[in-house]
Structure 1
Amino acid sequence: MNAALNDVREFHRRIGAAVADSPVLLPCHRESSSEMANAIRGLLTRCQSMADDGSSLLARLCLALEEMAEWAEAHAAGDLVAAADAWGDRLYVLLGDAVAAGLPATAIFDEVHRSNMSKTAAQAGSLGKGTKTGAFHRPRLREILFPAAEGPSAED
Structure 2
Amino acid sequence: MFLWNLVDLERIRWEGPDALTPGKHTVTFDFKYEGLGAGTLAFNNMSGLARPGTGTLLVDGKVVDAKKMAKTLPMILQWDESFDIGSDTLTGVNDADYTPPFALTAKLNKLTIKVDRPQLSPEDIKKLETAMRNNKVSE
TM-score range normalised by the length of the shorter chain: under 0.3
TM-score, scaled relative to structure 2: 0.25
Which structure has the highest strand share of the two? 2
Which structure has the highest helix share of the two? 1
User: Which entry has the higher C-alpha Rg, 1 or 2?
Assistant: 1
TM-score, scaled relative to structure 1: 0.23
